[in-house]
Amino acid sequence: MDFISPTKGKLTFEETFNDLIKYINEQSDEKYKLIIGSDSQMRESSIFVTAIIVHRVGKGARYYFRKQKHRYMESLHQRIYYETFLSLEVATRLSGKLAENGYAPLNVEVHLDVGEKGDTKHIIREVVGMVIGSGFDARIKPDSYGATKVADKYTK
């Protein structure tokens, strides 16, 4: 599970975690949000991007992303469920690593690419339920910038 940092290049999950913790420890008195979001784009195959964002509230952020190609998925609902799965996979691994290293109080949010308007409004309850049932906070549009801004940027 490799990630890309726009400033540091390709990183393993372990290197990504260490960089994220280093960023937090630089100004440990600040408030932080850890955000996971995924988005997808359809071409000849499906492109999925999952982002990890460490947001120093009111003072910037750092992010990492991974990009995966999968078989073509025509169904929007299938893609949204898979985006949610990918976000939960990373959120679970990250929160486990945080707990192992004494950072359990850091809350992880999962940002979903669904909203009250548009084609995804019918599956909001299901994907939000998946996230909450997995022990994470869920955000939907317009508050899901981890998916709709950061991850979306790299699906193109």
Give residue 1's pLDDT: 79
The residues of the chain scoring below 70 in pLDDT are none
For 60-127, give the secondary structure using H, E and C. CEEEEEEEEEECCCCCHHHHHHHHHHHHHHHHHHHHHHHHHCCCCCCCEEEECCCCCCCCCHHHHHHH
Using a cut of 0.85, tell me whether the model's pTM lies above it: yes
Provide the token pair at 127: 């994907």
Secondary element (H or E) of residue 9: strand 9-11
88-127 pLDDT, tens per residue? 999 999 999 999 999 989 989 999 999 999 999 999 999 9
Secondary element (H or E) of residue 138: strand 137-139
Contact, 30 vs 41, CB < 8 A?
A: no
Domain ranges of the chain: 3-153
152 in helix, strand or coil?
Answer: helix
CA torsion 130→11→72→129, rounded to 10°?
10
Contact, 40 vs 49, CB < 8 A?
A: yes
CA atoms of 107 and 95, how far apart (whole Å): 8
Can you say whether the dihedral through the CA atoms of 116, 112, 23, 62 is positive or negative? negative
Give residue 73's pLDDT: 85
CA atoms of 153 and 156, how far apart (whole Å): 6
Give residue 72's pLDDT: 85
Give residue 131's pLDDT: 98
